[in-house]
Amino acid sequence: MSYHAYIGLGANLGQPTEQLIWAVQQLQQLPQSQLLAISRLYSSKPTPGSPENQPDYTNAAVLLDTTLTPHQLLVQLQALEHQAGRVRIERWGARVLDLDILLYAQDEIHTSNLIIPHAELCNRSFVVLPLLDIFSTLTLPNGVKVASLAAARLFDDIEITADNTWWHSKD
């Protein structure tokens, strides 16, 4: 049986757009998974409480259909982050690539290394708006409509920088 998994993508070091393009290309090759949808590309300021003097972030979201379990998917995403050169030094610090499982089916998971829905999903427009690009009537496991979160947190210093074709290779 396969499940829908929504993945958040972000980067603010190096060449963020190119890194997200690379990440999408890698996600297209993920075992036991099929890439179904990709959001527009967004630019946003670092979240309040983040270490200061960081560059702006570039963010997007994708929808995967996968037979990987949530923990197997997490291992795959962390391997991609590592391959891209991510080093975890400080919480909410600048990063070359960040891949987060935002939602997995309608599951709620709370383990030492995985929380689904993503713990900060409801507080971040740079997550909510890309999710709405993919599925405008998306509902969280607790019944909250994602669209209501967008209305409450509308455009926290966020802007659309590209339509949903941004990830196509420019070869």
Q: pLDDT of 151-169, one tens digit each?
A: 655 555 778 888 878 777 5
pTM of the model: 0.90
Q: How far apart are CA 92 and CA 33, in angstroms?
A: 28
Active site residue 124: no
Q: Say which of 100, 107, 133, 157 is annotated catalytic.
A: 100
Choice among 40, 91, 98, 133 that is catalytic: 98
Residue 16: which H helix or E strand, with range? helix 16-28
Q: Which residue has the higher pLDDT, 52 or 100?
A: 100
Whether residue 167 is contained in a domain is answered as: no
Note if 86 is an active site residue.
Answer: yes
Establish if 45 belongs to a structural domain.
yes
Decide if 168 is inside a domain. Answer: no
Number of domains making up the chain: 1
Q: Is residue 142 part of a domain?
A: yes
Is 40 a member of any domain? Answer: yes
The span from the CA of 115 to the CA of 123, in Å, is 15
Structural domain contains residue 98:
yes
Instruction: Check pLDDT > 90 for residue 138.
Output: yes
- HSE on the CB side for 110, CA within 13 Å? 1
Mind listing the pLDDT tens digit for each residue in 45-55? 887 667 677 88
pLDDT for the residue numbered 151 = 60
| Catalytic site residue from 40, 95, 124, 133 | 95
Output the pLDDT for position 84. Answer: 85
Tell whether 170 is covered by a domain.
no
